[in-house]
């Protein structure tokens, strides 16, 4: 698995999201910005992502995943 494969895995579930991913070997960093995270706590946001990638973690294709799951407003505030 690589960063592009991770984005392609997530895209059908977050169709309007801004998704960026990078990897170094099997360690990944993910930025996903989507309105689906509105009103959800950080843990719930991460659980949404982990539910989709769990198979890859269990297989060892993905060893570590750092998730930045933000709402559009949170993302805009961080950029400012």
Kindly list the domain boundaries of the chain, sorted by start residue: 3-79
pLDDT for the residue numbered 79: 86
71 CB neighbour count, 10 Å cutoff? 17
3-79 fold: GMP Synthetase; Chain A, domain 3 (3.30.300)
Alpha carbons 29 and 53: distance in angstroms, whole number: 13
pLDDT for the residue numbered 51: 97
Q: Per-residue pLDDT averaged across 50-54, rounded?
A: 96
Find the angle CA(9)-CA(12)-CA(17) to the nearest 5 degrees. Answer: 95
Q: Per-residue pLDDT averaged across 42-71, rounded?
A: 96
The tokens for 28 are: 């990944």
pLDDT tens-digit map of 12-48: 999 999 999 999 999 999 999 999 999 999 999 999 9
């Amino acid at each position: 698995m690589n960063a592009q494969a991770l984005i392609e895995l997530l895209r059908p579930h977050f169709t309007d999201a801004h998704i960026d991913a990078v990897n170094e070997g099997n360690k990944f960093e993910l930025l996903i910005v989507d309105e689906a995270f509105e009103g959800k706590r950080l843990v719930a946001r991460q659980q949404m992502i982990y539910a989709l990638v769990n198979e890859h973690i269990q297989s060892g294709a993905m060893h570590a995943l750092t998730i930045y799951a933000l709402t559009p407003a949170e993302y805009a505030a961080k950029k400012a």
